[in-house]
Amino acid sequence: MTTQTALGDQDTPTTTTPDTVPAGCYWWSDPDGGLCLMPGCMARVQDPDAECTCDKLATRLAKVERQLRDMQERQRYADTWWHALRAAVDAHPDSAALITDTRRRAGR
Ligand SMILES: [Zn+2]
């Protein structure tokens, strides 16, 4: 068996840090020494020698930050809705029955 020269196979997974997270495509050596490409973009799916068109780490970070901001905005909307609904239920004459029914429906 040939000594592995690069990390990233099933038996020796790549240790990831913010600087080494595969941004899509990455190359690794299999235990027999063969060089293998894990394509992450269409360019390299079609031609392993093509220039990689995967997002770089900064682009991926920007995308995740955008998703986080969207999720935070949705959560703020849901919190506002929840507090308004809870206030309306608390002000209702059948408040206790509504809360009991809601807990039953939610299973809590
Ligand atoms: Zn790529």
Å from CA of 46 to ligand 1 middle: 11
At 22-79, the pLDDT tens digits run 568 888 888 888 888 888 888 888 998 999 888 888 888 998 999 999 999 999 999 9
The reported pTM is 0.52
Look at residue 15 in the predicted model and tell me its pLDDT.
67
Statement: residue 7 has pLDDT above 60: no
Look at residue 101 in the predicted model and tell me its pLDDT.
95
> What residues does each domain of the chain span?
1-54, 57-106
Cα dihedral value 88, 89, 95, 97, nearest 10: 150
Look at residue 10 in the predicted model and tell me its pLDDT.
66
Å from CA of 22 to ligand 1 middle: 10
CB-based burial label for 28 (10 Å; 0-12, 13-18, 19+)? buried
Å from CA of 32 to ligand 1 middle: 24
Statement: residue 1 has pLDDT above 60: no
